[in-house]
Structure 1
Amino acid sequence: MTVTTDPAPPPPPSADDTDDGTLATFGYRQELRRQMGRYASFAAGFSFISVLTTVFQFFAFGYSFGGPPFLWTWPAVFAGQLLVAACFAELAARYPISGAIYQWSTRLSSPVFGWFTGWIMVIGQVVVVAAAALALQVVLPPVWSGFQLAGGDPAPTTATGAANAALLALVLLVLTTVVNVLDNRVMSAVNRIGVTAEIIGAVLIIVLLFTHVEHGAGVTLRTGGQGGTVTALLVGSFTAAYVLIGFDSAGEMSEETRNPRRTAPRTILSALAAAGILGGLLLLAGLLAAPSLSDGRLATEGLSYVLTSSLGDGVGKVLLADVAVAVAVATLAIQTAGSRMLFSMARDGMLPFSARLAKVSPRTGMPFVPALVVGVLAAALTLLNLASPEAFLAIGTTCIAMLYLAYAGVTAPMLVRRLRGQWPATDGGDRDELGRPLFSLGRWGLPVNTLAVVYGLFMTVNLSWPRPGVYDPAGGHWYFQWFTVLFVGATVAAGAVYIRLGGAASAARKPGRREPAEAVRI
């Protein structure tokens, strides 16, 4: 008698095979190296936010305009950004593709609208890279006076401080560009180590400052700042608005992340939540531990003054050195996100010199030309600081407004699709790599999405409003007062000219499809 047995079942596909197959359904082949795990994905989002970099960079500004109550703008902005992040988490689960903002906006609306959203986002990211690199000026000279290469007063609001900030930023941008063209394993390792050091440093600073409290919690209700209460708080909210951006970077790195449908949504939310909690505690600890709230130093030197005054030069300078590491890692992460956005748009033939921008090095698995472009453009922007100290604030607020506008370019068409009953979408499947349902807001989707759009548009207007007391306090520099409005307008106009003169055909194509000369075989 012959005994027959069923053939052994084939082994389950590996995570890499599943991820590569998912990418193929969107019209792309796997070119970037998929080597990032969950912590590396979290690090990509957290390092872009970089709570130490941005809180130290903008604490003095927020306090000078809002006074102690500017602390209360933090939970308001945090709540608003959580709404946006929840929408992005739904999208990351369904479209795990590099160039997340561009890809999401295009698939939710039209290729032309998505192109404009991606264009605004990538220019905004270049500005953010420049603003992050300039933050070294806030921490390095207090650590060692030798870092004040330009001599004179190191305060960023002075001519010598602004010039030195540009010099330090240029050195940092050279280093981050080198790392960004080496290998994504090097970049990912630097990110992970830097984020770990930043989290440990932030916790230590919070704990130590709370052990040196000089004031009761009631000081957070003490009026102060410039202008009326409402105006003071609106401007004071710039600190939180600048800190709590970039959580979408976990989505930007989806093509380099294992199990991105499952990983990216969770790391988008966890990166923002961690930064929101740590940043809020850092602001509170800084206010309560400040030796004085009225001597003017808190409004000019910010947390660097609190650290060195409350904890002593030794401990304070060690912690400031940790902040400098956070600044470097943040600059690296933001440059990486910007280069992935350029790569994604170029891969679809959406930009000038797309063939070069879309090229991935077979040796490193990195799109090195976009990293060079972002680094060079950011370096050029930092040179504005040589012209005037006001450029620092103009660059900072412009990049925030650009990113908020790009975020609205995603949440607004998403809301339209939701109202039409066309969202959540399942065109890429309704299960993640582990066979579990994709992240979804369920019945909370409509109210969350609606509030995210309202919040995003409100903050874009608030950030862009040409307040002379904010952008041109000394007077005589109207172009700084209107810098954000002019820069955003010029970005949109340049995009319109590009489409009009030859980019229309490119912008009208669906993502994932190229001209025959650049075709990708799947």
Structure 2
Amino acid sequence: MSEDGHGLRELGYKQEFERTLGTFHTFAAGISYISILTGTFQMFYFGFGMGGPANWWSWPMVFVGQLMVALSFAELSARYPVAGSIYNWSKRLGNPHVAWLAGWMMLVASIVTVGSVALAYQITLPQISSVFQFVGDGTGEYDAPVNAVILGSVLILFSTLVNAWSTKLMARINSAGVFIELVAAVLLVVLLAVSAVRGPSVVLDTAGKGSGHDLGYFGAFLVGSLASAYVMYGFDTASSLGEETVDPRRNAPKAILRALVASFVLGGLILLFALMSVRNINAPELSSVGLQYVVLDVLGPVVGKIFLVAVAIAVTVCILAVHTAAIRMMFAMARDNNLPAGSLLAKVHGKQKTPVVPAVVVGLIAVLLLVVNIGQPQIFQMVTSIGVILIYVAYLLVTVPMLIARLRGRWPGEGAPSGGFSLGRFGLPVNILGVLWGAGMALNLAWPRSEVYNPTPPYHWYLQWGAFLVVGVVGLGGFAYYWFVLRHKTGVLAEHAADGS
């Protein structure tokens, strides 16, 4: 029994994927899901609009909280580097019911994220050239929403074809894109830094955003912190490719932590120097256009558009990574017969060694979700925000069972691999902090704020309370289907079971 396959056999699965991914491939998968340029360029306007320049402090705050979660995940990835990591980790730590709910929420959230990230093309490509504005001139009521669906659908089609064709091709494109993204991020930091017109004390400027909030600026800061929370997740993708990674027990933990740390450092510096270099810190475009405006304002149209091309590349590889993670989750749950048509969804193509059907299903659903954005952008915004909440809840369905196992003395347990990543005696406090952070941020994300879930007319109570309503429907409705239908036939499908299982 090979070292790579040990975790699979322990979980009852046989090796079906090709192990072709190296250290940089797994690191690239994690960092492209987080995607420094995609997330910061897509969410800067919101954070600045809600919290002003001082909202910058939400970036290190979210990093510290997510680092507690990532450290726990690194321990788990050293033990179980397996597809659908969140689902399988929860299954080992808790019970099949909790695991199904964790996997279901992560799957739904990942598919929603594919659609929401695809919309980032619309706020980047037309800024590069009007050629990319296929519908009208961008000023009409439906010009931007319809054009966003067209651009996003093309991107999702590309991602579907690549993911269905070859994991190796996906990894090569993703790694090349991440390399370009990292180089562009470093250059952007340098150019913004040398163009600074004010000092770093700008991050102490609240811009009067606390007025009107019951909690003063702290209330505004909590809202603005969602911009950072919407970016810094997905690092577990490195482990979800564990069945396709060489030496995954050593590579996956390193990839998880390196992806998060690199994203924090580069993203934090970009945000800081953007605030220091923009010529007019009170420009209304900062709260509407965002970092795209800063880049063009500071670097000029020629250099600025070159960096926007790098942002478009980052969006592309981000979609590839999110799509890949959703496929692995769908495959992992299906081979346990925990999804409808499990045998079909869990089938690995004999020649390409990829789960083709999940790639297509995820792509189709994501495109259908995009269509909602045409006539109901508020509903789509609500759904995408809720997708992030589902991910934080799915993370909790791993960290909470892990904490319970620690308190009961069942972690790491017998047979824990030696020489792998371990927190040792720091494991319990890190785990506790990860649970507290995850619960607090999930509540902050879901809180019924009109500025998040119903910012423009028409105002409806069900939009403002949409997070609780939709999370409840997805969670309770999905679990009811599992409880009454799927749980009676769950179990590793014979064609995927390890020999002797």
Aligned position for 1:69: 54
1:278 paired to 2:266: yes
From 356, 368, 385, give the equivalent of 1:368: 356
| 1:430 and 2:417 are equivalent in the alignment | yes
Matched, 1:222 2:205: yes
Partner of 1:269: 257
* Contact 1:94/1:425 (8 A) holds in 2: no
The corresponding residue for 1:162 is: 145
Q: Does 1:113 align with 2:101?
A: no
Tell me the distance in 2 between the aligned counterparts of 1:520 and 1:450.
35
Could you tell me how far 1:520 is from its partner in structure 2? 5.5
Counterpart residue identity of residue 437, structure 2: Y
Contact 1:159 1:389 in 2 (8 A): no
Partner of 1:3: none
Contact 2:338/2:487 (8 A) holds in 1: no
The residue identity in structure 2 corresponding to 1:370 is P
SS for the counterpart of 2:286 is coil
| Alignment partners' CA distance in 1, 2:273 and 2:144 | 27
Say which SS state the counterpart of residue 349 (structure 1) adopts.
coil
Partner-residue secondary structure (3-state), 1:135: helix
Compute the TM-score of the two structures, normalised by the length of structure 1.
0.91
Question: Contact 2:14–2:496 (CA<8 Å) still a contact in 1?
Answer: no
Conserved 8 A contact 2:163-2:170: yes
Which of 448, 451, 463 is the equivalent residue of 1:466?
448
- Please give the alpha-carbon distance, in whole angstroms, between the structure 2 residues aligned to 1:505 and 1:314: 61
- Alignment partners' CA distance in 1, 2:139 and 2:311: 17
Within a 5 Å distance, the mapping from 1:34-433 to structure 2 comes to 34-153=19-138, 159-224=142-207, 225=209, 227=213, 228-427=216-415, 429-431=416-418
Structure 2 residue corresponding to 1:493, chosen from 476, 489, 501:
476
* TM-score, length basis structure 2: 0.95
Q: CA deviation at 1:60?
A: 0.3
* CA apart distance, 1:309: 1.0
Rounded Cα–Cα distance in structure 1 between residues aligned with 2:350 and 2:362:
21
Residue identity in the other structure for 2:417: D
Q: 5+ unaligned residues in a row in structure 2: which ranges?
A: none
Q: Give me the identity figure in percent.
A: 43
Report the CA distance between 1:80 and its aligned residue: 0.3
| CA distance in structure 1 between the partners assigned to 2:347 and 2:358 by the alignment | 9
Does the CA-based 8 Å contact 2:14-2:497 persist in structure 1?
Answer: no
Q: CA deviation at 1:394?
A: 1.8
How large is the Cα RMSD of the aligned pairs?
A: 1.7
Cα shift readout 1:474-508 (whole Å, capped 9, x = no counterpart)? 2324243233222211111221231243112245x
Distance 2:424 2:437 in 1: 20
User: Separation in 1 of the partners of 2:414 and 2:17?
Assistant: 25
Q: Distance in 2 between matches of 1:51 and 1:66?
A: 20
- The 2-side partners of 1:342 and 1:176 are apart by 16
CA distance in 2, matches of 1:306, 1:518: 51
Cα offsets for 1:394-429 (capped at 9, x unmatched):
2332121111000000000100110111112344x4
Cα separation, 2, equivalents of 1:457 and 1:181: 36
Cα deviation code 1:357-398 (max 9, x no counterpart) = 000001100001111111111111111210233245323321
- Tell me the distance in 1 between the aligned counterparts of 2:355 and 2:395: 24
The answer to whether the Cα contact below 8 Å between 1:162 and 1:392 also exists between their aligned partners in 2 is no
Of 48-57 and 215-224, deviating more is 215-224
**CA spacing shift, 1:518–1:96, aligned 2, 3 Å:** closer
CA contact (8 A) 1:94 1:426 kept: no
CA contact (8 A) 1:238 1:397 kept: no
Distance 1:100 1:235 in 2: 30
1:484 corresponds to which residue?
Answer: 467
Name the SS of the counterpart of 2:287 in structure 1: coil
The equivalent residue for 1:6 is none
Task: Give the conservation status (yes or no) of the 8 Å contact 1:120–1:402.
Answer: yes
Question: Does the 8 A contact of 1:159 with 1:388 survive in 2?
Answer: no
Kindly provide the CA deviation profile for residues 77-96 of structure 1, in whole angstroms up to 9, marking residues without a partner as x.
00000000000001001111
Name the CA distance, whole Å, in 2 between partners of 1:94 and 1:518: 20
Shift of 1:468: 1.1
Partner SS state of residue 262, structure 1: helix
Q: Specify the code of the residue in structure 2 equivalent to 1:383.
A: V
Letter in 2 for 1:201: A
Q: Would you say 1:23 and 2:8 are equivalent positions?
A: yes
Aligned match of 1:434: none
Query: What residue in structure 2 maps to residue 453 of structure 1?
Result: 435
1:9 paired residue number: none
Question: Greater shift after overlay, 380-389 or 122-131?
Answer: 380-389
Matched letter for residue 435 of structure 2: V
For the residues of structure 2 that align with 1:49 and 1:475, how far apart are their CA atoms?
32
2:21–2:244: 8 Å Cα contact kept in structure 1? Answer: yes
Provide the C-alpha distance between the structure 2 equivalents of 1:229 and 1:47, rounded to a whole number of angstroms.
33
1:185 CA drift (Å): 1.0
Return 331-340 or 482-491, whichever deviates more.
482-491
**Cα distance change on mapping 1:119 and 1:154 into 2, 3 Å:** farther
**Distance in 2 between residues matched to 1:221 and 1:255, nearest whole Å:** 46
Deviation of the 1:204 alpha carbon: 1.0
- Structure 2: distance between partners of 1:485 and 1:184: 37
